[in-house]
């Protein structure tokens, strides 16, 4: 059995390639399915307002906490870029946004559990789709605009002479 697996997978690089290809192919399908599950015309003003409020608070906290959690030798602009790069929310929301609704729909029609879970599931799914629609383009634009301006390629070289000069840092 192990010889067969070794032949099929040809090592960890092959397995990584297979998993990457699967993920690349499945992400568009995941987003299409999640988008098809939401009826935009059924979103109430209160649901929209609540979703946007929750999203604004969560993203504000995410940016601030990400900035302060990034350690190392990063400069101010590099830390801010990381906070912006981690701003988009999509894959996790698409993957788990429908779980409550799926659980509710699995219950018997008219049961107390279904009646309690279904409205909450629709709200969570709506909030997940809104977070995808809002944060993905803002994050992509933010990365494209700030990356070239805020990030500099640093090459550290060791330049030693008879006096043992310290390392020099060269910015390109």
3-state SS record for 21-74:
HHHHHHHHHHHHHHHHCCCHHHCCHHHHHHHHHHHHHHHHHHHHHHHHHCCCCC
> Mean pLDDT, to the nearest integer, of 145-169?
68
Q: Does position 14 have pLDDT exceeding 70, yes or no?
A: no
**What is the rounded (10 degree) CA torsion for 39, 44, 45, 46?**
-120
pLDDT value of residue 157: 62
Query: Is pLDDT larger for residue 82 or for residue 164?
Result: 82
Angle between helices 2-9 and 12-36 (to 10 degrees): 70
* Rounded-to-integer distance, Cα 131 and Cα 96, Å: 13
Give tens-digit pLDDT for 73-101.
888 999 999 999 988 877 777 778 788 88
Per-residue pLDDT band for 42 (boundaries 50, 70, 90) equals confident
Give tens-digit pLDDT for 100-121.
888 888 888 888 888 888 888 8
């Amino acid at each position: 059995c192990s010889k067969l697996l070794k032949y099929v997978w040809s090592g960890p690089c092959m397995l990584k390639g297979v998993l990457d290809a699967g993920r690349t192919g499945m992400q568009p399908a995941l987003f299409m399915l999640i988008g098809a599950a939401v009826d935009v015309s059924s979103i109430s003003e209160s649901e929209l307002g609540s979703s946007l409020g929750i999203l604004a608070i969560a993203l504000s906290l995410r940016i601030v906490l990400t900035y302060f959690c990034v350690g190392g030798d990063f400069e101010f602009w590099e830390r801010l870029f990381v906070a912006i790069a981690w701003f988009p929310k999509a894959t996790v929301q698409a993957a788990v946004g429908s779980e409550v609704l799926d659980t509710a729909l699995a219950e018997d029609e008219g049961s107390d559990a279904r009646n309690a879970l279904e409205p909450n599931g629709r709200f969570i799914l709506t909030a997940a789709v809104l977070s995808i629609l809002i944060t993905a383009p803002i994050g992509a634009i933010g990365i494209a605009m700030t990356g070239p301006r805020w990030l500099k390629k640093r090459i550290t070289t060791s330049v030693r002479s008879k006096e043992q000069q310290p390392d020099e840092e060269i910015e390109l």
